[in-house]
Amino acid sequence: MNLSPRTRLELASRLRARGFHVRLHAYELLLGFRGRILGVLLLEPGYGKATLFLSPAAGSLGEPLEALREELGKVYPDLALVVEGGERRANRAATRDAWLLNQGSST
């Protein structure tokens, strides 16, 4: 597998051509799509995967997720795409925030 900076730049360029906003830092790509933060894509070649940590504000994932799978497969065919977070994470955060507010009001 080619782990060169040039290959990571190629992935970023391909994603930009598909309408993504991409900020690349080492093996992390901050991804936006249609004015929303989609999440952070962490390339983990040592583990054979690329993990997309979704933002709670990611919105609909159909089109961007399909485009991401296609472009990742062209540049890194040996990496499996794993998706984590999103709505479930947003619900956990809201529950935690409500609990913290209740704790503060009982003192």
Q: E strand or H helix at 3, and its extent?
A: none
Is pLDDT of 37 > 50? yes
What single-letter DSSP state applies at residue 18?
Answer: T
pLDDT number for residue 60? 78
Structural domain for 39, as ranges: 5-105
**pTM (two decimals):** 0.77
Flag whether pLDDT at 89 surpasses 80.
Answer: no
pLDDT one-digit tens code per residue, 71-83: 999 999 999 999 9
CATH code (residue 88): 3.30.310
Please, what is the average pLDDT of the chain?
A: 84
Instruction: With a cut of 90, say whether residue 10 has pLDDT above it.
Output: yes
Burial class of residue 5 in the structure, from the number of CB atoms within 10 Å of its CB (0-12 exposed, 13-18 middle, 19+ buried)? exposed
Say which residues have a Cβ less than 8 Å from residue 97's Cβ, sequence separation at least 6: none
Give the count of domains, the chain.
1
Q: Give the residue-averaged pLDDT of 24-49.
A: 94
pLDDT greater at residue 56 or residue 67: 67
